[in-house]
């Protein structure tokens, strides 16, 4: 139950069982204007009870790792590019393939 990370050459492979889902009011998967969107996390109640979150409100931050599962696989960028194709922004690191 939870997240498992397995090293694979230069990158990490994330494996595991979903423990919940990230939800928001946004209805379409669009790559812009996320800064004003509010959302939340719903934990799977069959795996967790309310006690699992006890004390969480005393922390200043929570790290949430999620998988974007509503993106059309044909639209995934597999080569290096500037974020949002803006040459003024620095590109990110891509894991080598093969």
Q: What is the pLDDT of residues 56-93, one digit of tens each?
A: 889 999 888 777 777 788 877 788 777 777 777 765 55
- State pTM to two decimals: 0.51
Sign of CA dihedral 41, 18, 33, 80: positive
Cβ 19 vs Cβ 53: under 8 Å: no
What mean pLDDT is reported for the chain? 76
pLDDT tens digit sequence for 16-55:
778 888 888 888 777 677 778 888 888 888 988 889 889 9
Domain ranges in the chain?
18-27+39-68
């Amino acid at each position: 139950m939870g997240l498992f990370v397995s090293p694979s050459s230069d990158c990490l492979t994330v494996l595991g069982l979903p423990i919940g889902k990230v939800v928001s009011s946004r209805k379409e998967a669009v790559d812009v204007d996320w800064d004003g969107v509010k959302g939340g996390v719903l934990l799977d109640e069959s795996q967790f009870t309310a006690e699992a979150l006890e004390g969480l409100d005393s922390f200043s931050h929570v790290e949430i790792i999620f998988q974007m599962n509503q993106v059309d696989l044909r639209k995934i960028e597999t080569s290096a590019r500037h974020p949002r194709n803006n040459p003024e922004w620095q590109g990110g690191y891509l894991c080598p393939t093969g």
